[in-house]
């Protein structure tokens, strides 16, 4: 009957979408895992039960530290949960949420660990998409150079941007929650405003000029463009864009009221000003306009297009002709011929009306040199599509080019994904400036290996992508060979450059280019897994060399420490794996001193407070460096704790007693003994007996008393 119940439970577990698992404790052997594991990760339950290390292997390298944290929490609390990434059998990355609980026998001894694991990949994608959309909306809302207001159907103001506040002198808290009719609509326009709100909610888009009050009652003119939107609560609302056109309106009003040319003002203005007759012949120009017209041109009986364009007919988009037709201000931006000293101009044309009549007697034309503005616009557009660090194209441009070039005419299209290995450990150890220089070097290598027509972009962080139109699989492999050759040549520098590469080629029009990109990315990731450990090891070795160069005693100190650690570890009965880990700790325990100035490392006297704070930071820095490499991560916590004291008076976290890792307690004693028995810039060596007495006197305060006794006994 028990077997029957077990079979029923197994059937239930195997039909759940979540993974149900059970692991023995403390040997962590898989005793049961439900069938859903194969659907989610691709590996069968039998594979997990046959290989206890499989789960660690499929854990994403950047998340493996979570496994160690969870084990510590389970030991402490008996329950833990986590979110982490797993690499499925097909190479895809899956996000999972895992809950685990320890079960105990009647004597209170933990005997097994059971849990439920759920696939949350889609939720993570949705969260990331939501975050991106919200960030994009906030950027547009806050960065737009015009005032923006969002209101509900009744006119209640929901949100305004800072530009609108500056335009009206209101503070955000004065506007948000108030009604737009009370704040921005004059009494004579309120009925019209209510009707406009009704029309907009009904689906019309409106744009118009209107008078509106500021906070102090001052009247300004705005150009409004309004449309309806769906608010977060699902109801319709209104978004309106406000542009202050007070200056333009005042100018129009003054031009209608006055038909007197104020020569003293006009001659001092740096815009070109010209008064034209209705037949476009020139009546008046100011000094700036004379300067811009062709040199030597007699203005008598000439028309405006003779001067700027050497044409005999008017321009198709002439704002003067439009002003004559519409009896309103008209404007246009024009590109001038190459021979002209100006590049771009903006023209505003204002009609001059007969006094107390509607007949146009002329046109006032304002001409503004906007060449610098256009150059700035071009520069902004350039920056919009460029990565500031490497000057390569950015992800946004790359994605647009993928859409543009994804045509049959461009087949075959190849893609290369590249990822700089070990960037995190370089940033943590050498600093972000050095990491940036490595990215710049990687960009230079990639750029030198591709053609001018290829699209090379920095995707963000340590990733690059290359789009190669009309490039076959054979040709893209040659490009990879060129990149690898350049990388090999660059490996002779102090910090080795290592780049993981992957490629894929689209040959059929029906194939999705985004899927081809994923293939290249997967291959790059597989390549990264195979070379990343080696590159990080080289970086760490380089750090050790730097440390040795700063302090010549460091290498001998590490060698003695390693020998003593092995001897002491054998006396303590450590296993081979623990001995190896202790030896690695002895080698790397001071690696965090890499970035400390050698004047501090070799200072003969007592360190001042600032220098001591810098020196104390080497434990945490060493932890970061070791954590960045899978190969050395197993001693990262021990490095972090190797200056903690048994009584809690150490640093950096003030741990005490058995909260300090066992190997860290061992290495603390060995380190202290070696430092005391060998000359240092700040102290002379003492005899071993003296050092052992000091260790004995500090047992129970600085050192683990039992380990201190064993160490003294060994000698």
Q: Dihedral through CA 58, CA 63, CA 66, CA 68, nearest 10?
A: 60
pLDDT at 5: 56
pLDDT of 338 above 70: no
**Which residues 6+ apart lie within 8 Å of 559 measured at CB?**
none
* Mean pLDDT value of segment 510-529: 84
pLDDT of 534 above 60: no
Which string of DSSP letters, residue by residue, matches 493-560?
Answer: SSS---EEEEEEEE-STTS-HHHHHHHHHHHHHHHHHHHHHHHHHHHHHHHHHHHHHH-THHHHHHHH
| Residues 578, 705 within the same domain | yes
| Residues 115, 169 within the same domain | no
Confidence of residue 249 (pLDDT cuts 50, 70, 90): confident
pLDDT at 465: 92
| Residues 398, 491 within the same domain | yes
Confidence of residue 539 (pLDDT cuts 50, 70, 90): low
Q: In terms of Cα–Cα distance, which of 674, 621, 676, 665 is closest to 643?
A: 665
pLDDT of 706 above 80: yes
pLDDT at 105: 86
| Residues 479, 559 within the same domain | no
551-561 per-position pLDDT tens digit? 555 667 777 88
Residue 19, both tokens: 């993974």
Q: Does residue 251 lie within any of the structural domains?
A: no
* Mean pLDDT value of segment 615-624: 83
Most confident among 10-14, 241-245, 255-259 (mean pLDDT): 241-245
pLDDT at 263: 60
Computed over every residue of the chain, the mean pLDDT equals 82
Domain count, the chain: 5
pLDDT of 677 above 90: no
* Mean pLDDT value of segment 648-664: 91
Cα distance between residue 687 and residue 556, in whole Å: 18
* Mean pLDDT value of segment 238-251: 87
**Which residues 6+ apart lie within 8 Å of 252 measured at CB?**
329, 350
Taking a C-beta distance cutoff of 8 angstroms, is the pair 406, 510 a contact? no
pLDDT of 646 above 90: yes
Residue 667, both tokens: 């290495």
pLDDT of 43 above 60: yes
| Residues 519, 400 within the same domain | yes
| Residues 411, 321 within the same domain | no
* Mean pLDDT value of segment 648-675: 91
| Residues 93, 11 within the same domain | yes
Please report the sign of the dihedral spanned by the C-alpha atoms of residue 252, residue 258, residue 260, residue 264: negative
- Beta strands 147-152 and 110-119 are unpaired
pLDDT at 195: 93
Model pTM score: 0.40
| Residues 561, 692 within the same domain | yes
Confidence of residue 468 (pLDDT cuts 50, 70, 90): very high
Cα distance between residue 449 and residue 477, in whole Å: 12
pLDDT at 213: 92
pLDDT at 415: 93
Confidence of residue 422 (pLDDT cuts 50, 70, 90): confident
pLDDT of 298 above 60: no
* Mean pLDDT value of segment 322-342: 76
Give percent of the chain with pLDDT exceeding 70.
85
Q: Does residue 448 lie within any of the structural domains?
A: yes
pLDDT at 296: 46
| Residues 115, 150 within the same domain | no
Please report the sign of the dihedral spanned by the C-alpha atoms of residue 238, residue 241, residue 247, residue 251: negative
pLDDT of 388 above 90: no
Cα distance between residue 390 and residue 614, in whole Å: 32
Domain boundary among 534, 563, 592: 534
Q: Does residue 379 lie within any of the structural domains?
A: no
| Residues 308, 332 within the same domain | yes
Window from 1-15, 353-367, 431-445 with minimum mean pLDDT: 1-15
Give the domain range for residue 628: 551-714
CATH classification of the domain holding 86: 3.30.450.20
Domain boundary among 347, 374, 401: 374
pLDDT at 271: 77
Q: Does residue 203 lie within any of the structural domains?
A: yes
Residue 247, both tokens: 């200056």
Taking a C-beta distance cutoff of 8 angstroms, is the pair 101, 113 a contact? yes
Q: Does residue 139 lie within any of the structural domains?
A: no
Confidence of residue 262 (pLDDT cuts 50, 70, 90): low
pLDDT at 712: 92
Q: Between 367 and 342, where is the model more confident?
A: 367
CATH classification of the domain holding 478: 3.30.70.270
Window from 1-10, 488-497, 506-515, 690-699 with minimum mean pLDDT: 1-10
């Amino acid at each position: 009957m028990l077997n029957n119940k077990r079979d029923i439970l197994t059937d239930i577990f195997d039909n759940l979408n979540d993974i149900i698992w059970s692991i023995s404790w403390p040997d962590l052997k898989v005793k049961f895992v439900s069938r859903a594991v194969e659907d989610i990760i691709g590996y069968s339950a039998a594979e997990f039960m046959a290989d206890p290390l499989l789960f660690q292997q499929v854990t994403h390298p950047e998340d493996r530290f979570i496994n160690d944290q969870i084990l510590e929490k389970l030991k402490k609390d008996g329950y833990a949960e986590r979110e982490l990434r797993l690499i499925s059998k097909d190479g895809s990355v899956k996000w999972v949420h895992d809950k685990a609980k320890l079960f105990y026998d009647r004597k209170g001894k933990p005997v097994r660990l059971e849990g439920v694991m759920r696939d949350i990949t889609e939720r993570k994608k949705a969260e990331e998409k939501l975050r991106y959309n919200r960030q994009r909306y906030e950027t547009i809302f806050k960065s737009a150079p015009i005032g923006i207001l969002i209101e509900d159907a009744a006119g209640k103001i929901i949100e305004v941007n800072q530009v609108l506040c500056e335009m009206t002198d209101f503070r955000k808290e004065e506007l948000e929650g108030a009604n737009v009719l009370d704040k921005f609509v004059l009494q004579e326009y309120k009925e019209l405003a209510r009707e406009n709100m009704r029309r907009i909610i009904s689906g019309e888009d409106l744009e118009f000029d209107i008078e509106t009050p500021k906070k102090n009652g001052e009247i300004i003119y705005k150009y409004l463009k309004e449309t309806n939107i769906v608010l977060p609560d699902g109801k319709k609302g209104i978004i309106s864009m406000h542009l202050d056109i007070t200056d333009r309106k005042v100018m129009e009003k003054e031009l209608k009221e006055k038909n007197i040319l104020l020569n003293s003002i006009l001659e001092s203005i740096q815009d070109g000003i010209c008064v034209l007759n209705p037949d476009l012949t020139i009546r008046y120009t100011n000094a700036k306009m004379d300067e811009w017209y062709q040199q030597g041109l007699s203005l008598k009986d000439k028309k405006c297009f003779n001067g700027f364009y050497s044409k005999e007919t008017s321009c198709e988009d002439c704002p003067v002709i439009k002003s004559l037709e519409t009896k309103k201000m008209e404007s246009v931006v024009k590109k001038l011929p190459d021979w002209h000293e100006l590049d771009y101009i903006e023209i505003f044309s204002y009609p001059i009306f007969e006094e107390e009549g509607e007949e146009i007697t002329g046109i006032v034309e304002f001409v503004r040199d906007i060449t610098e503005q256009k150059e700035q616009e071009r520069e902004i557009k350039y920056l919009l599509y460029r990565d500031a660090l490497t000057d390569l194209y950015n992800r946004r441009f790359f994605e647009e080019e993928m859409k543009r070039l994804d045509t049959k005419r461009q087949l075959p299209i190849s893609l290369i994904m590249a990822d700089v290995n070990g960037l995190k450990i370089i940033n943590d150890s050498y600093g972000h400036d050095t990491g940036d220089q490595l990215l710049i070097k990687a960009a230079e290598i990639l750029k030198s290996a591709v053609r001018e027509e290829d699209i090379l972009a920095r995707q963000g962080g340590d990733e690059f992508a290359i789009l190669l139109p009309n490039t076959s699989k054979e040709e893209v492999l040659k490009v990879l060979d060129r990149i690898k050759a350049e990388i090999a040549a660059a490996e002779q520098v102090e910090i080795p450059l290592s780049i993981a590469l992957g490629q894929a080629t689209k040959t059929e029009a029906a194939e999705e280019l985004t899927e081809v990109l994923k293939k290249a990315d997967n291959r790059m990731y597989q390549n990264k897994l195979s070379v990343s450990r080696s590159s990080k090891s080289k970086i760490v070795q380089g750090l050790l060399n730097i440390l040795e160069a700063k302090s010549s005693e460091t290498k001998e100190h590490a060698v003695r420490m390693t020998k003593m650690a092995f001897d002491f570890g054998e006396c303590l009965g450590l296993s081979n794996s623990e001995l190896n880990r202790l030896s690695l700790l002895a080698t790397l325990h001071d690696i965090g001193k890499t970035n400390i100035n050698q004047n501090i490392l070799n200072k003969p006297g007592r360190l001042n407070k600032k220098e001591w704070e810098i020196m104390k930071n080497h434990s945490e820095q060493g932890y970061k460096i070791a954590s960045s490499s899978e190969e050395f991560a197993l001693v990262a916590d021990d490095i972090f704790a190797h200056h903690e004291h048994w009584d809690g008076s150490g640093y950096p976290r003030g741990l005490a007693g058995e909260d300090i890792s066992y190997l860290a307690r061992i290495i603390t004693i060995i380190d202290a003994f070696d430092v005391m028995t060998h000359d240092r810039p700040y102290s002379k060596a003492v005899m071993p007996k003296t050092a052992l007495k000091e260790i004995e006197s500090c047992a129970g305060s600085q050192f683990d008393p039992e380990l201190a006794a064993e160490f003294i006994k060994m000698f």
